[in-house]
Amino acid sequence: MNKENKNIKKDEIILYNRKDDYIPRVVAIHDLCGYGKCSLGIAIPVLSAAGCDVCPVPTGLFSNHTAYPNWYMHDTTEILNDYLNTWKEIGVDADAIYSGFLGSKEQVDVIKSVYKTYPHALKIVDPVMADHGEVYPTYNDELCQAMADLACEADILTPNLTEAAIILGEPIGEKWGGANIDDAEAHRIVNALLDRGAKYVVLKGIQREDGIIRNFVGGKDMGIVEASNEFLPYMLHGTGDLYASALLAAVMVGKNLAEAVEFAGNITHDAMLVSSKQPDFQDRGVNFESLLGQVTDLFI
């Protein structure tokens, strides 16, 4: 279930050219969660299945994801400069820099320093800070603003509607929960985010009452493409991380951006179906392990 504007040459938007047997290196700047699939627990296996060398930079250590009533977090901000400076000393290079959940506003400065270290690397920002009209419990106004600033430097930006509102400085109202956004409004939001500085924007998770969930991708040189999937009537922790990781996996294999958006939506949909067959599935988070073959098949 996909449609596109007929004047868009989607096959021309290839952001990474995979060469021969080269294994690209992805710096993955996310939290690490002990229980409940999300963040690095998703990014590492998904990108590895795409033949990438994943170099994790943990922004926080969580006992379990924050949808549980009790959780423990350790903020890693104070170790990150030494951690990353050591990479420079030993000559680590990077082909992509992929950031997600952040533990403090100071971590935005850390990421910007990584951008300076690897100016040639593709910059992917999944601005993990809110969903369905609510900001995550570890975020405050300063951190949200810092994340919004980082979003403007992205080569690929992947917000949901609530995160888009924060980045644009628009009030989080009823419409930002994810329902009843028409195409014109979705296009306005994508274009507004492009105007803020992101090169390509993927607006995720637009839900309507027709049983379809939509994702929109746009850039100033490609117009706006829509990809859609069946809407599944339950929420799972970590689906946004899976979507962004799968999208980047497809990009790093050499797929064009529209193909990557379609692939990310499809595997996230399939993972939600797999997850629904597991005990306590809405607590434990998204299960994707049995679908990693779909990622390796991107090489074919």
User: Looking at 89-98, 150-159, 220-229, which range is the least confident one?
Assistant: 220-229
* Cβ 199 vs Cβ 244: under 8 Å: no
Mean pLDDT along residues 91-98: 97
**Ramachandran sector of residue 86 (left: φ over 0; alpha: ψ -120 to 50; beta: rest):** alpha
Using alpha carbons, select from 74, 66, 34 the residue that is nearest to residue 237.
66
Please name the amino acid found at residue 75: D
CA atoms within 13 Å, Cβ hemisphere of 181 = 26
What is the C-alpha to C-alpha distance for residues 127 and 29, in angstroms, rounded to an integer?
12
pLDDT at 79: 97
User: Looking at 3-7, 30-34, 103-107, 119-123, which range is the least confident one?
Assistant: 3-7
Delimit the domains of the chain by residue range: 22-287
Query: pLDDT by residue (tens digit) across 139-151?
Result: 999 999 999 999 9
Using alpha carbons, select from 259, 277, 224 the residue that is nearest to residue 15.
259
* Cβ 97 vs Cβ 114: under 8 Å: yes
pLDDT at 207: 86
CATH 3.40.1190.20 fits 22-287, yes or no: yes
Query: pLDDT by residue (tens digit) across 201-249?
Result: 999 989 887 889 999 999 988 889 999 999 998 889 999 999 999 999 9
**Distance from CA of residue 22 to its chain's centroid?**
24
- Partners of 200 in the beta sheet? 156, 219
Angle (nearest 5°) at CA 155 between 83 and 84: 5
Higher pLDDT, 178 or 88: 88
